[in-house]
Amino acid sequence: MKLTGIPASPGVAMGPVFLVETAELPVQETVLPEGEIEAEIERFHQALDRARQELIQIRDGIAAELGPDEAAIYDAQLLIVDDPDALRITEEGVRRERRNAAFLFGRHIGQVAARVGGAKDESLRERLADILDVERRVLVHLLGREHPLADLRVPSVVVAHDLMPSDVAQLDRDKVLGFATDLGGRTSHSAIVARSRGIPAVVALRQLSRAVKSGDVIVVDGHRGEVELNPDERSVRAYRVRRTRLEGQRRSLAELRELPAVTPDGVEIELSANLELPAEVEQVYAAGAEGVGLFRTEFFYLDRAELPGEEEQHRAYRSVAERLAPLPVTIRTMDLGGDKVASYLGTMHETNPFLGWRGIRFALHHPEVFRTQLRAIFRASAVGNVRMMFPMVSSLEELRRANELCAGVRAELERARVPFDRRLEVGVMIETPAAVWVADWLAKETQFFSIGTNDLIQYTLAMDRGNERVAHLYEPLDPAVLRGIHHAIHAAHGARRWVGVCGEMAGDPLMAVLLVGLGCDELSVACPDLPRVKAAIRAVPASLARGVAAEALTLGSAAEVRAVVHERVMPA
Ligand code: PEP
Ligand code: MG
């Protein structure tokens, strides 16, 4: 059986299926041996303590930024954590019934939730979400939350209904040959992480996870966006041949490694790599990149039970900066929200998470958490060539507030005589149409732009990048997108600022040429895409690229733009 989805990460993989069943925080009832009762009560106390500490940290941050009214929800949650009934009932239950605390606490909360959910008083019913939030927060600590892929032992192709970006980040590269999911889009974060890690992947396969069972054999073709279940011998042979051919192509591109990304008519492009995890730095060198144009830092915040501290972050940023020096590393400050949710930060269900509490909005709502990250980044700049940029900016006010926080951090570090790079460049990601239209203002108060086309496309074209139903609307060549990019570049250059592009669009060789033609100074792409982009830059004169871009800007549809780009660039 063959199914077609969306190609999310190139490469061909074949192997046994490892099916991930999605179960959320499974709480099992366990009978405790007599000797473990006190230890279980102690574990319960510790879980409550950790939940309390997290809530206090979140509440204080919000109170400082927005005032006590906004922070009140966390006070309400703290009352639930400190509820003497929950404590007494769970403790007594552990002693009397000899059951585990997670089960008893969950049972108690379930009863409270049923009462509250059925209440006539609406304000009481609204408490339900808080109660369930606290339950989850405590259970995460009690259960030590197992990773769904912990049982993966032999090299396999992972099949799941959906995978979170943090799941993909944790996949063991030696055991995961590839993955295929029912949901997702080409620029959903799981797909991006897969590409950067070189894991072949196909997403948006709709019913796949229902059609397979563990033990089936599956082929994932991440170029064509196809999967084939239990292929016959002839197909297997054909896939092997294809895989060998693709590997051969990759090897010949590797010869470009030491060569610069310069066009035949001498325009130098800074060609950098996108980095998802500190451990991937070696790939940046292997790909022949001139630095890191986007270091996503969300991995620090996802899939863990508590906030990362300044020291832990500092160590990671520092190690990346040190290993890359003198090459630059552009650290993107936290871009939580959207499809990257850290439950302990109090994120709640949102109907439109991509239009919600995301990126810089989220960071400015948690100034303490944000400041911790800023300090870690500034401190790391002492040992390397560090740049920093803010995601999802949609107004000058946001940029100013972020800049003010930076100024505060700089002053603090200076007072304490902690070394940092005083010339550290701070930039803004251009990811929203709003940022495009105020780009002239933003450019005056920042040092560079990096255009995040994944988001700029989704917001310009009003298509959710993670929703497979509208995935066909993802169109980097849409005139609305190209004009937005052109406008932002023009505004930046008018203020003598440089501009990069770090969205997936830059990883496509033809589009990269178009971006060079539009005037981009830097392109930052996933490592596996880098050699082909470099080959394209070295093959097409910038003068030709400029002509193609100028013509593209006069055209009314993506199809026309594509035709012109193909016709004029391909023969070169
Ligand atoms: C983008 O939006 O293009 C981008 C690079 O950021 P992310 O994909 O992390 O949202
Ligand atoms: Mg983005």
Q: Name the residue with the closest Cα to ligand 1, atom 4.
A: 452
- CA dihedral (68, 72, 73, 76) in degrees, to 10, reads 150
Measured in Å, residue 359 CA sits from the centre of ligand 2 at 8
Is there a catalytic annotation at residue 189? Answer: yes
Sheet of strand 201-203: strand arrangement: 2-4, 226-229, 217-221, 12-20, 156-160, 176-181, 201-203, 6-9
Could you tell which of 166, 187, 196, 299 is best to mutate to test the pocket of ligand 1, judged by most ligand atoms within 8 Å of the CB?
187
Q: Does residue 373 have its Cβ closer than 6 Å to ligand 1?
A: no
Measured in Å, residue 262 CA sits from the centre of ligand 2 at 27
Pull the structure tokens for residue 51: 């939940």
β-strands 448-451, 425-430 pairing: parallel
Distance CA 268, CA 265 (A): 9
Q: Does residue 452 have its Cβ closer than 6 Å to ligand 1?
A: yes
Pull the structure tokens for residue 31: 């009978």
Q: Which pLDDT tens digits describe the chain residue by residue (572 residues)?
A: 899 999 999 889 999 999 987 555 678 888 999 899 999 999 999 999 988 987 887 677 666 655 676 567 678 889 999 999 999 999 999 999 999 999 999 999 989 888 887 777 766 665 776 787 788 778 878 887 655 677 788 899 999 988 766 567 667 788 899 999 988 887 777 787 788 778 999 999 988 988 998 789 999 999 889 999 999 999 899 888 888 888 877 777 778 899 999 999 999 999 999 998 888 888 899 899 999 999 999 888 887 778 889 999 999 999 999 999 999 999 999 999 877 776 666 656 788 888 988 999 999 999 999 999 999 999 999 999 999 999 999 999 999 999 999 999 999 999 999 999 999 999 999 999 999 999 999 999 999 999 999 999 999 999 998 888 888 899 999 999 999 999 999 999 999 999 999 999 999 999 999 999 999 999 999 998 999 999 999 999 999 999 999 999 999 999 999 999 999 997 54
Count of alpha carbons within 13 angstroms of residue 96, beta-carbon side: 7
**CB under 5 Å of ion ligand 2: residues:** 431, 452, 455
pTM: 0.70
Residue 545 near residue 516 (C-beta atoms within 8 A): yes
Helix/strand/coil percent split, the chain, to 5: 55, 15, 30
Give which of 441, 408, 445, 446 is closest to 330, Cα–Cα. 446
Q: Does residue 109 have its Cβ closer than 6 Å to ligand 1?
A: no
Pull the structure tokens for residue 300: 């620090």
**C-alpha radius of gyration, the chain, whole number:** 25
Q: Name the residue with the closest Cα to ligand 1, atom 3.
A: 452
CA-359 nearest atom, ligand 1? 10
Pull the structure tokens for residue 325: 């020096």
Q: Which pLDDT does position 340 carry in this prediction? A: 76
Q: Does residue 294 have its Cβ closer than 6 Å to ligand 1?
A: yes
Q: Which pLDDT does position 572 carry in this prediction? A: 47
Q: Does residue 454 have its Cβ closer than 6 Å to ligand 1?
A: yes
Residue 20 near residue 158 (C-beta atoms within 8 A): yes
Measured in Å, residue 204 CA sits from the centre of ligand 1 at 19
Burial category of 30 from C-beta neighbours within 10 Å (exposed 0-12, middle 13-18, buried 19 and up): middle
Could you tell which of 502, 508, 522 is best to mutate to test the pocket of ligand 1, judged by most ligand atoms within 8 Å of the CB?
502
Pull the structure tokens for residue 509: 């060789």
CA-452 nearest atom, ligand 1? 3
Q: Which of 141, 365, 502, 527 is catalytic?
A: 502
Measured in Å, residue 553 CA sits from the centre of ligand 2 at 24
Measured in Å, residue 331 CA sits from the centre of ligand 2 at 13
How far from chain centre, in Å, is Cα 95?
44
DSSP symbols for 60-120 = HHHHHHH-HHHHHHHHHHHHHHT-HHHHHHHHHHHHHH-B-HHHHHHHHHHHHHHHHHT-S
User: DSSP state, 383?
Assistant: G
Residue 228's DSSP bridge partners are 2, 219
| Cα end-to-end distance, the chain, whole Å | 40
How far from chain centre, in Å, is Cα 296?
7
Q: Does residue 192 have its Cβ closer than 6 Å to ligand 1?
A: yes
Q: Which of 108, 141, 189, 314 is catalytic?
A: 189
Give which of 100, 89, 91 is closest to 36, Cα–Cα. 100
Q: Does residue 5 have its Cβ closer than 6 Å to ligand 1?
A: no
Could you tell which of 272, 277, 431 is best to mutate to test the pocket of ligand 1, judged by most ligand atoms within 8 Å of the CB?
431
Distance CA 142, CA 443 (A): 48
